A and B are shown apart, each in its own frame.
Chain A
Amino acid sequence: MSVPVRIALLGCGTEYSGVMPEIYEAARQVEAEVFYPDVTLADVRAAGKGFGLDVHSADLRLMIARAEALVAGRTEADAVFVATCFRCAEAAIVRNELRRYIHEQSRLPVVSYSFTERTTAGTLLTRMEALVTIARRRALLARERQEGLTMGLDSGSATTKAIIMKDNEVIGTGWRPTTQVQQSADEVIELALAESGVRRSEIEAVGVTGYGRFLLGNAIGADLIQEELTVNSKGAVFLADRQHGFATVIDIGGMDNKAITVQDGIPGVFTMGGICAGASGRFLEMTSKRLGVDITELGPLAMKGMGGNVSMNSYCIVFGTQSLVNALAAGNSPEDVAAAACHSVAEQVYEQQLQEVDIREPVIMVGGTSLISGLVHAMGELLQTEILVPPHSQFIGAVGSALLASGFVRKG
């Protein structure tokens, strides 16, 4: 058994919200252990002064002292998990600033989360797993070239994707809406094999990511089963040819969104959001259905419209849909409504998630929604930058898996 990855917990309210067993369980599932960094009373007293943030809550002061101990190397850890109560403004300020401070002042991977008493280990699992992957698999994540003949699978919440790569090139792809996890995977594998013209037995290594990764990975005996935060980061910088230096990866998914600040292909700061469907690809799917167009036509339609002509706020998918219906009933054109829907989703992601990471150029958009040109345009306008959408961006998780899986190809 390998030595557990040690994750330092910087938390306020975790013990009083009943979520500690969930945090411990999520860590246990990825062979990590959570611990509180030791600090002295003098450290806590000095914390406000040194950090420059004079907070009133003593537990937040304790969090700052613990972060300073980690950065100064007085306490050793492999990764950091910052957790504070959802809806606490003072804690939100500390949580964001500490995450930035740790990211800038140390090499420790850090993730933050605002919890309620309903937070479960399942919700935390992907984040914990990403911390462990970054801490434990730095050598694997440093891989820049795909070698041999490998397959990557991405069992997502909305779609399942397969990619076959040979000698650093994509030679086969498969895509299907996710229904039954295994069945959808079998279908996309067949599609990718047919397109590439290779047999399943010739595949030298397989990597799996996405929500169905454990079920699928164990069923097919995958060489690599890895969460989508690190895999997508790797796939994004590989496809965009930005493997060195900083980049920001945005993946607006069917069920959740990911925003990741990447350095040399390895995530530094990342957030996953999934509370409201109004800020996800689901809302755009609903919009295209209501407009009577295929999802592939929504982007070009939005590019012809003026989003500013329609007031739309998709903070909640129910209210967003009401706005959509009202806008059409008021006689607005489908083009303007499509543009407003794209702007609304981009705005929610910008406001809710991108404030939690450091935006570093280039900004790379990936996932199926990156093919919706209106959404990419809206995000570019909000960020005041040109967004990169690499080829095969909708297969990002599968490409990242195939790339990383080549680390398991036996050279003979």
Chain B
Amino acid sequence: MAKVYIYPGTSLILSDLVARFGHRPLGSALAVREKVQAPGLDSPPLQITPEDPKKGLRFAAVEVPSGVRGRMSLHGPQIEEAEAGIIIRDADLAFGCMGCARTNELVQFLLHQRGIPLLELDYPRSDEEGIRFVASIREFLEGLPGGAPA
């Protein structure tokens, strides 16, 4: 089983595909779930406190907007933990969305810096592209250590 970072991080489809092929998806849902389930916090809706953008300083300098650093406090540790990654470029909003273009750039940059196996695909715009899209993801996930047919 490999830990696979998914981009966009909120994509349920990607998350489900990764899990179906025997791997562990790393994405926003997981990071936010840990936040909202943490006891003793009162910072709705995501339970992110002013301390989190400071934790994001590990991944972005202080002159980077606080919203980017707050997001990076969620995504940064996952990128460090990831053993592989899937990046879907120009995804439809309904497929998954990270909200901030600057965070998107930084997340993709850090994934490339890691030197881990990465699959980069354009979001499909037709049925044929959709079939090739899923097949590519399947092939990538089956090729990762511990991958299993769905």
Contact = CB atoms under 8 A, between A and B. Distances in A.
A16 B48 contact: yes
Interface string B86-111: 00000001100111111010000000
A62 B97 CA distance: 11
Contacts of B102: 57, 88, 90
Contacts of A84: 67
Interface stretch (A112-120, A186-194, A197-205, A335-343): A112-120
Interface string B107-139: 000000000000000000000000000000000
A57 B104 CA distance: 9
A288 B50 CA distance: 40
B150 interface: no
A56 interface: yes
A140 interface: no
Contact of B65 (A21, A45, A87): A87
Interface stretch (B18-26, B38-46, B141-149): B38-46
Contacts of B50: 17-19, 117-118
B101 A56 contact: yes
Given A41-B94, A87-B64, A17 B99 contact: no
Nearest to B48: A18
B76 interface: no
Interface in A58-96: 58-59, 62, 84-88, 90-91
Contact of A15 (B45, B68, B104): B45
B46 A15 contact: yes
Nearest to B53: A117
Contacts of A18: 43, 48-53, 66, 70
A13 B99 CA distance: 9
Contact of B98 (A58, A87, A91): A58
Contact of B44 (A20, A58, A90): A20
A412 B116 CA distance: 83
Contacts, number: 96
Contacts of B43: 18, 20-21
Interface residues of A, number: 30
Contacts of A17: 48, 50, 53, 66-67, 70
Contact of B71 (A14, A16, A88, A116): A16
Most chain A beta-carbon neighbours within 10 Å: one of B46, B53, B64: B53
A403 interface: no
A23 to B, nearest CB: 11
B99 A12 contact: yes
A62 B71 CA distance: 17
A387 interface: no
A118 B62 CA distance: 12
A58 B97 contact: yes
Contact of A117 (B46, B63, B66, B93): B66
A132 interface: no
Interface in A17-49: 17-21, 41, 44-45
B130 to A, nearest CB: 19
Interface string B68-88: 111100000000000000000
A72 B66 CA distance: 31
Contact of B42 (A21, A45, A86, A88): A21
A76 B64 CA distance: 34
A47 B84 CA distance: 35
A21 B42 CA distance: 8
B66 A116 contact: yes
A51 B16 CA distance: 35
Contacts of A14: 67
A81 to B, nearest CB: 16
Q: Identify the 5 closest CB pairs spanning chains A and B, nearest first.
A: A13-B67, A16-B70, A85-B65, A56-B101, A59-B99
Given A13-B68, A85-B65, 18 more contacts: A12-B67, A13-B66, A14-B67, A15-B46, A15-B48, A16-B48, A16-B52, A18-B51, A56-B104, A57-B102, A58-B93, A58-B101, A85-B67, A87-B65, A88-B67, A90-B101, A117-B52, A117-B66
5 contacts: A44-B93, A57-B99, A86-B65, A87-B64, A118-B50
